[in-house]
Structure 1
């Protein structure tokens, strides 16, 4: 019988809280981190609201030698990984160098670093381009820098499925643990609040153009009009339960019980979207039925037709208003490759404390959706299992079932 894969450490960097405790406190209180963009002048763009990690001072967390070769995204990822390892009580210096792997998610790499160096090239010349441009922008840079910093040579990888990537990375981490590696650092952290990261998202036509942070991102609401991007995410330690208990792990947040991914069919094919199938397959992988799920952490696009598709998947699987649904990402924005990892960390904290965080800014779900959306205040509940859903631009769907420890 396969030993369960559990989560023993969390590291969170989010727009509404730096560190797991601060983030969780703010999230339960419905405290939002959305606001006007400050990382660049967004006045000329139709979308001007973002979730920024505003209280992060890199020099307090990153060695000076790494500062010139890292982007804001990678600095956040390195910091979150440090926190996750510390939370898990793992000292990588005393472990076999091939014993721990690193699998993270990415959307497009460190675009802020890349934009700056390309601007130097165009405006000043090639001699002003940093040698670190050769790797600092790369989509696998977070995995690489975490591995190098902690001298890890276990299995590594990066999943590029945009907002679904955090779940896909965790699913891949579980595969490695099941193959015999005791632990894998996983999850995702992203940061694309710069013109190079902004323009492609505007081109999708899915970003909100509302300037009021309290009204800009309203998933499942009748007046939903798009999403707000953000930066940050979460790093988790996925570990073999037997190994964790043998080494005396201080805490186990929960089990990664089920995982599945699907791809939407081509437009015009007449076939249904793949989100419900991903959820069904994740439940089957966990050996559970829909009746076993106590809460759903929704993808919550904020785009009306995508919200409708997700609501139909939920009501088709569970029945109308049969399970509480929440979208705490309304307090952070959609974090690209970091979003699903943060939702997974949030789900584990919810299971630990028996409380469902609210969907901020939304007074009620559109009745046409037929879902029990948790709004207003956090809701206490008996929680044993949670389903986390995510969709990435391009048709990616991912679903993860997490189960409370004990």
Structure 2
């Protein structure tokens, strides 16, 4: 039989809080966590000055001093999320059988804060040098390499670079790795795009919201949609072979049953990119590979970029897949901001927790759906009927991904947490 990939541990380090309990409270209470950027001073020169930051994060609780000075905050968040996920899964922090454990995370921009500091020293200081760790701390594979060393994860490791779609692609790759015989894979993503350089790069796209009132800045699918709010953080998962998980009596949040990725081959701007045809094809393929009919889907967690063009395009794609009556749609991104690949991983955490707690949370908007965006947004919580969730994501310049999850709570198991 083909090995089945299930999620047995979730580690959340996001603006919604640290740990699954904090994140679930934020989502179910609809608490907005975006606010003024504090990681640096985004003075009047930056039209976007709010973001989603991880509250009360102390990297020293999760990483030793040597690695602390060698790595970026993005990697520190990854260390924390991985430690929480392993604890949540009931697994040791160091792999007992290193070649049976792997790590595959998504990345995009790498170590921004570390790189910012070193480049400022290069061009602004008298030494005209950078530190020895610049080459590895800024590298997009830094988190995977550091986690592999620290936790002794010596199985097939890798990095997915598909921008926001990467959080889903990493889980898809983890499921494929399980099928190829590795029993435990660490997957997911974190991000920290909050430095002067990183914010300037995002502003160049024209997709960031210029509204500096957190209540109104990020409103996907709304008549007042004006772009997204950047955020840091994300989620990391323990993906495990079902037989391996059952043998050790692990709690199971859900199963990864289908996945797919397509590409638009189009540069993303405020008016282009996000082809609804290729996006719909990715969702169709994921459902087909999961053996799931569109009518079986309980809930969809969308990409929710927050610009009028992309929101309408996404709504068109969902109608193409599900017909004129799509399943309920919910998103928490207006509460936390958009953490790129970490944001899609966080959507997976929300979906799994919803199925685990037997509660589909209400959507954080839109207040007034824009023309063409009239989807069935969940206005109040409800219980799932089939236990099937679809998570969708799009990465800049054409990446489209979809992931199908099926809830599978073990008999006699209560709700878990960190």
> Which of the five TM-score ranges fits, normalised by the shorter chain?
over 0.9
1:62 aligns to 2:63 (yes or no):
yes
Aligned counterpart, 2:202: 201
1:193-232 superposed matches below 5 A:
193-232=194-233
**Structure 2 CA distance, aligned partners of 1:369 and 1:291?**
20
2:326 to 313, 322, 329: 322
1:368 aligns to 2:372 (yes or no):
yes
String of CA shifts for 1:226-252, please: whole Å, max 9, x gaps. Answer: 111100000001110001111221x10
> If the length of structure 2 is used for normalisation, what is the TM-score?
0.93
Aligned counterpart, 1:17: 17
1:176-191 superposed matches below 5 A:
176-191=177-192
SS of corresponding position for 2:385: coil
SS of corresponding position for 1:358: coil
Query: How far did residue 127 of structure 1 move?
Result: 6.7
**Structure 1 CA distance, aligned partners of 2:333 and 2:390?**
15
Alpha carbons 2:265, 2:397 under 8 Å: kept? no
Query: How far did residue 322 of structure 1 move?
Result: 3.2
Aligned counterpart, 1:167: 168
Aligned counterpart, 1:389: 392
Alpha carbons 1:256, 1:400 under 8 Å: kept? yes
String of CA shifts for 1:205-263, please: whole Å, max 9, x gaps. Answer: 111000110100000111111111100000001110001111221x1000001000000
SS of corresponding position for 1:378: coil
- Segment of structure 1 superposing worse, 341-350 or 316-325: 316-325
**Structure 2 CA distance, aligned partners of 1:293 and 1:253?**
17
Question: Structure 1 399/78 Cα, relative in aligned 2: closer, same or farther at 3 Å?
Answer: same
1:357 aligns to 2:357 (yes or no):
no
Q: Structure 1 unaligned segments of length 5 or more: list them.
A: none
Aligned counterpart, 2:287: 283
Aligned counterpart, 2:234: 233
Aligned counterpart, 1:34: 34
1:337-356 superposed matches below 5 A:
337-356=341-360
Alpha carbons 2:9, 2:88 under 8 Å: kept? yes
Query: How far did residue 125 of structure 1 move?
Result: 4.5
Aligned counterpart, 2:412: none
Question: Structure 1 98/362 Cα, relative in aligned 2: closer, same or farther at 3 Å?
Answer: same
Question: Structure 1 127/266 Cα, relative in aligned 2: closer, same or farther at 3 Å?
Answer: closer
Alpha carbons 1:389, 1:399 under 8 Å: kept? yes
Query: How far did residue 57 of structure 1 move?
Result: 1.3
1:105-144 superposed matches below 5 A:
105-126=106-127, 129-144=130-145
Query: How far did residue 321 of structure 1 move?
Result: 3.8
Alpha carbons 1:230, 1:335 under 8 Å: kept? yes
SS of corresponding position for 2:372: helix
- Number of residue pairs the alignment of both structures matches: 404
**Structure 1 CA distance, aligned partners of 2:128 and 2:266?**
45
Query: How far did residue 300 of structure 1 move?
Result: 0.5
**Structure 1 CA distance, aligned partners of 2:315 and 2:169?**
22
Query: How far did residue 316 of structure 1 move?
Result: 1.8
Alpha carbons 1:29, 1:378 under 8 Å: kept? no
Aligned counterpart, 2:414: none
Alpha carbons 2:12, 2:235 under 8 Å: kept? yes
**Structure 1 CA distance, aligned partners of 2:325 and 2:16?**
29
- Segment of structure 1 superposing worse, 377-386 or 305-314: 377-386
Aligned counterpart, 2:149: 148
Query: How far did residue 360 of structure 1 move?
Result: 2.2
> If the length of structure 1 is used for normalisation, what is the TM-score?
0.96
Q: Structure 2 unaligned segments of length 5 or more: list them.
A: 410-418
Alpha carbons 2:165, 2:393 under 8 Å: kept? yes
**Structure 2 CA distance, aligned partners of 1:223 and 1:94?**
49
SS of corresponding position for 1:98: helix
